[in-house]
Structure formats: structure tokens, C-alpha cells
Amino acid sequence: MSEQVLIRQGAEARVYRTSIDGREAIAKQRFSKKYRHPELDNKLTRGRLNQEARCLKRCREHGIRAPDVIRVDKESATLYIEFIPGPTLKEWISGSSDKHAQGELMGVVGEILHRLHSHNIIHGDLTTSNMIINDEQPVLIDFGLSQISPSAEDKAVDLYVLERAFISTHPDSEPLFARVLQTYHCDDAAGAVLRRLEAVRQRGRKRDMSG
């Protein structure tokens, strides 16, 4: 294993660039929370580590592009995954002025999210920063808040988080997200999720109005 270079630190984990077994990799090390009881903290940390690895593996099993899991080190609470080169979707949108190409890519994003949800995988933190454009195709990354759930509500919240990310990050992006939903809505199950999405939006508006 080569030297690890810290590239990001979040609320739950430190993320390093490294290599392992001859492969470029990302090491995501979850750290303990001092305010939690050590036994509970260890249980929660390992639980999230295992859940993230399970969801990534499930994606790969169902043909959803996501990093390959290289190793799970439970002792150090570190997940080693394949490094995916390329700009984030956020960077790609910001650097693109081709509306047709944007629409085409958003259509692919919608198809991927439909496949994700059809296999009951909830990403938990869908943003344009958590998709990498590699070989002109989106790759989903950062499954740290992921879970397995058949709930239409959970899937709708997943889409709502992405919609809020578009609104806050990309000005005048309504047509882009509309295209995502257009290709997502390809069967009755997706229709049920989109109906729940409208209810989630209404709750969000009420929270915004109440401050």
C-alpha cells in the first residue's frame, strides 16, 4: 500500500488518495465520535462501513456504475474502493454550454437512478458532486449514507435531495432535473415514487415558509 494523501475530511470520515494491490484507490476512514459511548460508537461505525460496502457491491451486481470495493478493513474502519477519474457532474455541467449534450447526459442519470431504486438501493446523498463523469458516463460515488429500502418515500427523498442540489448549485437548472425525472419515470413503480416526491416537495415548502 502506498502513502495516503488526504483529499477531503467530512463529518463522518476522512478520504485519502492511495493505491492498494497495484490499483489506484480511495481510502475512506470513518472516525469515532467522542460524544458517543465507545461500544455504541464502534457498533454504529462498523454498521455504516458494512452498509456502504454492501450497497456498492449491490450496485455492481446490477450493472449500476459505482466504484469497485477493493477491501474492507474493519479494525481501522476503512473502506478501500476503486479510484474513478473524471470531473464531477457539478464540474461537467459548469463547464458545458451544449444544451443537447446536457440533456442527453441528464437522461442517462435518470435511467441510472431508476435502476438504482428498482433494486431498492437508496443513495442517501444524491448531489451533482457525488457523480463522476467517466468515459462520458455517470458513476455514482460516496454511498456513506446509503441503505437498502423498498420504500417509495425513501426513494422520493433521494430524488428531492438531488433536486435541491440542482437548485442550489446550478442556476436555471429546472430543465436539467426535469429531464432526469422524464427518463426515471418509465414504469408504475417510478410513477409512485414521483407522486411521493410531490408530497416531499410540499413538506419542504412548508418548512421553508415556517423558517
**CA angle at 100 for the pair 96 and 103, rounded to the nearest 5°:** 85
Closest to 141 in 3D by CA, of 121, 155, 127: 127
User: Which of 98, 125, 158, 188 is flagged as catalytic?
Assistant: 125
| Alpha carbons 43 and 36: distance in angstroms, whole number | 11
Which is it for the CA torsion 146, 95, 160, 207, positive or negative? Answer: positive
Q: Within 13 Å and on the Cβ side, how many CA atoms surround 74?
A: 7
Is 158 catalytic? The answer is: no
Cβ proximity of 16 and 6 under 8 Å: yes
**CA angle at 159 for the pair 130 and 88, rounded to the nearest 5°:** 20
| Alpha carbons 209 and 130: distance in angstroms, whole number | 29
Closest to 46 in 3D by CA, of 64, 61, 29, 22: 29
Using left for φ > 0, alpha for ψ between -120 and 50, and beta otherwise, residue 156 falls in alpha
> Catalytic site residues?
125
